[in-house]
């Protein structure tokens, strides 16, 4: 049995276009969803930055409550782990002490905004301090560390920032809140611009978005030669 074929011999092989078309449509739909998600995320990030700018005190209260919930949940899990059968005996005491301390600090956060902000500032300050000391010591002791100068710079800055937060927690946490607001607005604007650029590229790939020479699939697969 014979099948009809293109007499000119210039058309693509039978079955090529039905395979390429779904691939192009799927990539186009994925790119279309991507720019919408990126645009939504960017607008939400900008809104978050504006909210922090407008109500910094209320933002700190909310963050303090969330920090208290985090400490309380962490402490409960630590206490539960202390009585687990899979935990060695010499680690049960450590789990119990850290869990009890986390629960205690979490309950203190719920007593008021001042306590929660104070504990949050100390938590961040000690984290930065320990991180900075560790990075600085590692970079100073190993001369072959990649980007050793930047590692030293980061470690020193992190150490100084941790000391400032510990010494002056309330002023530092307020300044840190403003920095977070600025970063949120900047990152949101960048994401919105990226979403717009992605939308333009999706329009070029869509049917009718340009000439035949401009509309190309994201991944071009050459046809087999006859």
74 in any annotated domain: yes
139 in any annotated domain: yes
Does residue 7 have a pLDDT over 70? no
Our count of domains for the chain comes to 1
Residue pLDDT, tens place only, 103-128: 888 888 888 878 888 888 888 889 88
Residue pLDDT, tens place only, 79-103: 887 777 666 777 778 878 888 888 8
Q: What is the dihedral of CA 205, 206, 208, 213, to 10 degrees?
A: 20
210 in any annotated domain: no
222 in any annotated domain: no
217 in any annotated domain: no
Q: Residue 106: CB partners within 8 Å, gap ≥ 6?
A: 68, 69, 70, 71, 72, 73, 74, 75
Does residue 3 have a pLDDT over 80? no
20 in any annotated domain: no
Instruction: Show the domain range for 195.
Output: 28-205
| 208 class by beta-carbon count within 10 Å (0-12 exposed, 13-18 middle, 19+ buried) | exposed
6 in any annotated domain: no
- Are 42 and 34 in contact, with CB atoms under 8 Å apart? no
Does residue 208 have a pLDDT over 80? no
Residue pLDDT, tens place only, 73-82: 888 888 887 7
pTM: 0.60
Closest CA to 128 of 177, 165, 180: 165
216 in any annotated domain: no
- Three-state secondary-structure class, residue 208: coil
The pLDDT, as a whole number, for residue 214 is 45
């Amino acid at each position: 049995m014979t099948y009809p074929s293109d007499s000119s011999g210039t058309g693509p092989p039978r079955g090529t276009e039905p395979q390429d078309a779904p691939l192009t449509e799927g990539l186009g739909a994925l790119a279309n969803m991507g720019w919408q998600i990126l645009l939504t995320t960017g607008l939400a990030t900008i809104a978050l930055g504006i909210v922090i700018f407008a109500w910094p005190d209320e933002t700190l209260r909310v963050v303090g409550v969330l920090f208290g919930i985090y400490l309380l949940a962490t402490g409960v899990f630590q206490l539960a782990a202390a009585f687990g059968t899979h935990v060695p005996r010499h680690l049960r005491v450590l789990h119990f002490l850290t869990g009890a301390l986390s629960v205690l600090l979490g309950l203190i956060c719920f007593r008021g905004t001042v306590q929660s902000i104070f504990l949050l500032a100390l938590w961040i300050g000690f984290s930065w301090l320990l991180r900075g000391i560790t990075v600085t010591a590692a970079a100073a002791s190993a001369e072959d560390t990649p980007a050793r100068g930047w590692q030293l710079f980061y470690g020193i800055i992190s150490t100084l920032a941790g000391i400032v937060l510990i010494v002056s927690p309330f002023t530092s946490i307020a300044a840190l809140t403003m920095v977070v607001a600025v970063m949120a607005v900047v990152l949101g604007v960048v994401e919105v611009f990226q979403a717009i650029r992605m939308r333009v590229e999706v329009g070029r790939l869509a049917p009718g978005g340009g000439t035949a020479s401009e509309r190309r699939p994201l991944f071009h697969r050459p046809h087999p030669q006859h």
